[in-house]
Amino acid sequence: MTAQQLRLDRRAIAEQMKNVLNSSATHDIKMARWKALDVKQEALRVQIEAAEAAERRQSYQLPGHDGSRAEHLPGTRALSPSEQFLDSPEYRAAFETYARTANKAELRALGSGSGADGAQLVPTGFQREIEVYLSAIGGLRQCARVVPTATGNNLPWPTEIDTSNGLASGTFNAGSWLAESAGNSEVDPTYGAVTLYADLLDSGLVLVPIELMQDSAFSMEGELSRTFGTRLGRGTAQAYMNGNGLQITGLLPELVAAGGREVLAVGAFANSGNSADTDLNGLGSDDFASAIAAVNPAYRTGKGVGFIANQQTFDSLRKVKDKYGRPIWETSLTQGQPDTIFGYPYWFDQSMQTPGAGNKSLIFGNFNHYVIRDVLGMTMIRYNELYMGNRQIGFEAYMRTFGKTLNPQAFAYVQHPLS
């Protein structure tokens, strides 16, 4: 089945779940039926993600260098001549040969390829596969602005805030109405700059048995891209959200440091009527509405606007209803688009905390105001002899990346009280 057909089936199940919540059956019967349907829709969600990931791996084109989000969509930019060469069957065959045998003769015959230990032996397609895995694991990478650069030099990035001038309420800047022959006034935005660095992330060693490498049916490129992508995805997701102890501060710590971005959770009691659904252990529709209201309207529209939370947090919200008795969760029928809450998309990020005393469990905002910088290219190293005593070959990958908040005013987070 196609991803779109799976989405239609999932939407039908979601509608059944809503009808069950609003039915007149006893609570126990409703919850039993709801949980059975929820298992089915969750299985379909996993199938949809797998189907769409496979389609992205076939059609995804490398992003452009101007940082525009449009160029990160599948098939929106043709490969350059050098990228076409790196993605050619001959080059991929040379990579496969090097990964299996450490023989770079085929690559040298292509007239390309210098560099030690496979530094220039990473095909475009291999990196494309890893990018898909990075996006699937790290929620911020799906909605933030991603800027690839050819070098890792410090990159100053200008910022501009224009929401504090103009109207008396101070909500956003506006033009001025002028009487005849009247002069205009100067109303400047607040300008600033942040610096994008490039921290080095190591995948850790991947040990592959010699017997497995000798099996021609085994795809070295597929296996390594899956392992590297998963490990690097987890590492980058944690750093972008919470910092890495080096130069990446993390979105949440930057919002906390900016001040005024916090919304205190009230819990789901108003939705469920259950006194156990407190501000310490859950989120209700009021928490989502408050997070939206805490962000200036100037930042609530456009691509990249939505919620981010741990998947476990969203799993608990599928039966939450608004004050009119309508479930706030809406399933998506559009390929590549997440489900919505109050009309806004949401993304999973396992680096986020779940609801709990003192935790920060939800972020709402315009994630175009968080920029991820990737230094183009990836180095892969093959360890030929170090692990040969166990008849294994070692592989390792490196990537250089960085993340930074451009404007904290574009975000709000939900904080649970300590007690």
| Residue 24 confidence (pLDDT) | 82
Conformational region of residue 318, where left means phi above 0, alpha means psi within -120 to 50, and beta covers everything else: alpha
The pLDDT value given to residue 116: 40
Largest CA distance in the chain: 88
Contact 333, 6 (CB under 8 A): no
Tell me which DSSP letter residue 80 carries.
Answer: P
What is the model's pTM? 0.74
SS3 of 154-188: the string is: CEEEEEEECCCCCCCCCCCCCCCCCCCCCCCCCCC
Long-range contact set of residues 159-166: C-beta below 8 Å, sequence gap at least 24: 159/191, 159/192, 159/193, 159/194, 159/406, 159/407, 160/189, 160/190, 160/191, 160/192, 161/189, 161/190, 161/192, 161/407, 161/409, 162/189, 162/190, 162/298, 163/296, 163/298, 163/299, 163/409, 164/190, 165/189
Cα–Cα distance between 198 and 332 in angstroms, integer? 35
For residue 266, CA distances in Å to 27, 129, 353 come to 24, 42, 17
Cα 176 to Cα 166, 185, 189, 318, distances in angstroms: 8, 8, 15, 46
How far is Cα 248 from Cα 257, in angstroms, rounded to an integer? 14
Q: What pairs with residue 160 in β-bridges?
A: 191
* 242: helix, strand or coil: helix
Contact predicate 363/307, CB 8 Å: yes
Q: What does 112-170 look like in DSSP terms, one character per residue?
A: ---SGGGTT---HHHHHHHHHHHHHH-HHHHHSEEEEESS-S-EEEEEEE-SSSSSTT-
Residue 365, helix vs strand vs coil: strand
Dihedral angle computed from the Cα positions of residues 305, 53, 57 and 60, in that order, rounded to the nearest 10 degrees: -20
CATH class of 60-155+194-415: alpha beta
- Where exactly are the structural domains of the chain? 60-155+194-415
258 to each of 162, 189, 255, 289, 328, how far by Cα in Å?
Answer: 17, 18, 5, 22, 30
d(CA 419, CA 416): 9
Q: Helix H segments across 192-351?
A: 210-213, 220-242, 251-258, 269-272, 285-293, 311-315
Closest CA to 329 of 274, 283, 261: 283
Local mean pLDDT, 10-residue blocks, the chain (419 residues): 83 85 81 85 83 64 40 45 64 72 54 44 72 81 87 83 47 60 62 86 88 74 83 92 94 94 88 79 89 92 91 81 70 72 89 92 95 83 84 88 93 93
Q: What is the pLDDT of residue 262?
A: 93
pLDDT at 86: 62
